[in-house]
Chain A
């Protein structure tokens, strides 16, 4: 039987479950230049990334289905619209809680992932095996740990041959591999990291925001003399920063089915937050995940890239910026619109920001 190919977007989807059923996941980063089909379904002020993902899914015949996740209002609507205009492919809406800390949210996530599991068993015809889930949790954990160790190396190596941008590009390209292959590829990437010559004029910058890999923007940042030290993008920093707890991995073999789903809930409900969720941290007083990360990365400035029309993220920046100002950390806010190429103005802002520092 052919391996099923599924598209997905947000990282609150428990990818481990898909690996259990041997389903190949394709993270959708959007694509296509013709948005006319999306424009027919979405209003003009809808997040352009969502339109772009919608377009990509429509255009990709190789995908057998999509897992739409309820992360933000726009993603929620996209899943809904794909559902309404069902073209015969699988379309599953995975509900995940908005709350990030409480017990009830964990229970809900557990219930929803069990439901997803039953669905996957049904469409693939494979029975669910807890042993497979143990295995895939282990693999996914190893990938996250490896990813963080690469970032730490990239932070530490002054003037390395490899730049942070290469890492983002690597992730963008290799994302869809199964965890074992991805782990091996990451190993190769890590192996190539050799300390380069020390650069005097490096300006450590932290990238915040909710963007995917945009070559022109990342290149412009690095060519303007910035050294990227960390990010909070949902396809890299946010994805790997919170993984399973080490002690849970150690006792993995002792857990029953329910316990394993509990681990999934713990990881995904407590993961590094997407700002469309309820964050219990207090950004006004300095208790904020991104802010703490900026501090840890010893970045001297912050570039925050927002997808246009993402309100929660823009609001988060507005508050974060107040805090950064207090600390004297300069920051730049730019908005990217997938639908209209305004890259040039963004590059001007990035370059001017670097000239200013």
Chain B
């Protein structure tokens, strides 16, 4: 039985994620690597890596599902499913009581509402603009010449409330430069940056009229501890973060692969 393995491949705009599960739906290994320009190559090397870690042969992967932006550009997967369904599947598997997923990745931020059976009730995605995405955070951190981890720590020490008003990433950047030149502390500016993202997220939640009972936050941006703490305070609720928040989409894809395999069999 344990000879059967299933792979989920999530080709995001910035990072590619691969998850390998076995027949018992246990994650045997996973890998994250920058997407770069050659999707096919990156995913293949990721797949090799997870197989090596799991100590299995590539042939033992019975079925694989691709998801994410690049899902159509990889040809060796058996099917492609949108990351919306995959995130839903992955998160629901980990947290069956979850009703709302916030997923903030490199280019997208989205909110997915789940029904009690794990099916999707509704989903909302950001406008094409980069505000409120991982890219926005990256640009801001670069402007501040800080690493993201440091920015989180700084934000916790903020003493004053500053506001970044611009919606546009470029404008926000110049606003930050001017905040710096006005001698505002990096702590306060860091907090303002997170506040700006948080307001985007709460706006999405409100648009989707999501339940706030059990929220799971996925995607790379979920690793920003300050943002999570700030959101919890804002929404007055606890937010759950998976151990590796980036891979829930790939996990969902792997679970779909397994389901498909047994359906077909």
- What 0/1 readout, one digit per residue, does chain B (83-110) give for beta carbons within 8 Å of chain A? 1110000000000000000000000100
| Interface residues of B, dominant DSSP | mixed
- Of the 9-residue stretches A158-166, A248-256, A346-354, which lies at the interface with chain B? A346-354
Q: Which residues in A have their C-beta under 8 angstroms from that of B54?
A: none
Distance in angstroms between the alpha carbons of A345 and B108 in the assembled complex: 9
Given the known interface contacts A355-B120, A356-B120, the answer about A348 and B128 at a Cβ–Cβ threshold of 8 Å is no
- Residues on B with beta carbons closer than 8 Å to the beta carbon of A340: 128
List, in ascending order, chain B residues with CB within 8 A of A351's CB.
81-82
Interface size (A, Cβ < 8 Å)? 12
Contact with B along A331-357 (1 / 0, CB 8 A): 000010100101011001101100110
Within the complex, the shortest CB–CB distance from A55 to chain B, in Å, comes to 20
Q: Are B128 and A355 in contact (CB under 8 A)?
A: no
Which one of A342, A344, A355 has the highest number of Cβ atoms from chain B below 10 Å of its Cβ? Answer: A355
B123 interface contact, C-beta 8 A? yes
Q: Which of A291-348 contact B (CB under 8 A)?
A: 335, 337, 340, 342, 344-345, 348
Question: Which residue of chain A has its CB nearest to the CB of B127?
Answer: A335
Residue from B82, B122, B125 in contact with A355 in the complex, judged by beta carbons closer than 8 Å: B82
Q: Is the CB of B82 within 8 A of A352?
A: yes
User: Which single residue of chain A is at the shortest CB-CB distance from B125?
Assistant: A349
Residues of B within 8 Å of A345, CB to CB, are 69, 108, 125, 128
Partner of B69 from the list A335, A344, A355 (CB cut-off 8 Å) is A344
Chain B nearest CB, measured from A56 CB (Å): 23
**Is there an interface contact between A355 and B84, defined as CB atoms closer than 8 Å?**
yes
Identity of the chain A residue whose Cβ is nearest the Cβ of B122 in the assembled complex: A356
Instruction: Name the distance in Å between B44's Cβ and chain A's nearest Cβ.
Output: 21
0 or 1 for each of A99-126: is its CB under 8 Å from B? (1 = yes):
0000000000000000000000000000
Which residues of A lie under 8 Å from residue B128 when comparing CB positions?
335, 337, 340, 342, 345
* Chain A residues near B69 (CB-CB < 8 A): 344-345, 348
B11 CB to closest chain A CB, in angstroms? 11
Nearest B-chain residue to A357, judged by Cβ: B120
The answer on a CB contact under 8 Å between A355 and B108 is no
Is A355 a contact of B81 with CB atoms below 8 Å? yes
A356-B123 CB under 8 A given contacts A344-B69, A345-B128, A348-B69: yes
Given contacts A337-B128, A340-B128, A345-B125, contact A352 B108 (CB under 8 A): no
Smallest CB gap from A344: residue in B:
B69
Q: CA separation between A56 and B198, bound complex, in Å?
A: 42
Measured CB to CB, the closest approach of chain B to A214, in angstroms, equals 16
Q: Give A349 to B83 CA distance when docked, in angstroms.
A: 10
Q: Which of B114-166 contact A (CB under 8 A)?
A: 119-123, 125, 128
